Amino acid sequence: MASHKITPFLWFDNQAEAAARFYTSVFKNSKLLNVTPMVVSFEIEGQEIIALNGGPRFQFSEAFSLLVNCDSQDEVDYYWSRLTADGGQESMCGWLKDKFDFSWQIVPVQLSKLLGDKDRERAGRAMQAMLKMKKIDIATLMRASHGP
């Protein structure tokens, strides 16, 4: 079991186990740790997450999301297609909601480099390109950054 000081704790109505099984099927380096009728713990990429069947009182919002740093467009495409499957919804600028209405950010590592470019015009062009995207397209960002 992971020994992080901080563990995300996600409140589901009654789908904690289904969500944990879905997430561990999407992420290759993941596993279920413990399953009870009320609480499910699982691990993704070394990060423990706890899911609770807490009832309908609280709902997810975009105010909390998990960010997935991707090394390539193939990785962006993989997570995007898996997490939007079966009722997930695309949003803007690399954000999406999965079928459990939980928010994710699927972000290529190149994005922060492009947006943080010391050449503010290049960074601005990358930002403007990103603002038009749902799923982030690295090649389009690179072309925009370099300009006409």
Q: Residues of CATH 3.10.180.10 domain(s) within the chain?
A: 1-55, 64-148
Q: What is the pLDDT of residues 122-142, one digit of tens each?
A: 999 999 999 999 999 999 999
The residue behind tokens 């943080």 is 116
For strands 30-35 and 39-44, give the pairing: antiparallel
**What CATH class is the domain 64-148?**
alpha beta
Q: At what angle do helices 73-84 and 16-26 cross, to 10 degrees?
A: 160
The residue behind tokens 């009320």 is 38
DSSP 8-34: -EEEESS-HHHHHHHHHHHSSSEEEEE
The pTM score is: 0.93
Q: What is the pLDDT of residues 77-97, one digit of tens each?
A: 999 999 999 999 999 999 999
Q: Which CATH number fits domain 1-55: 3.40.1350.10, 1.20.80.10, 3.10.180.10, 1.10.3720.10?
A: 3.10.180.10
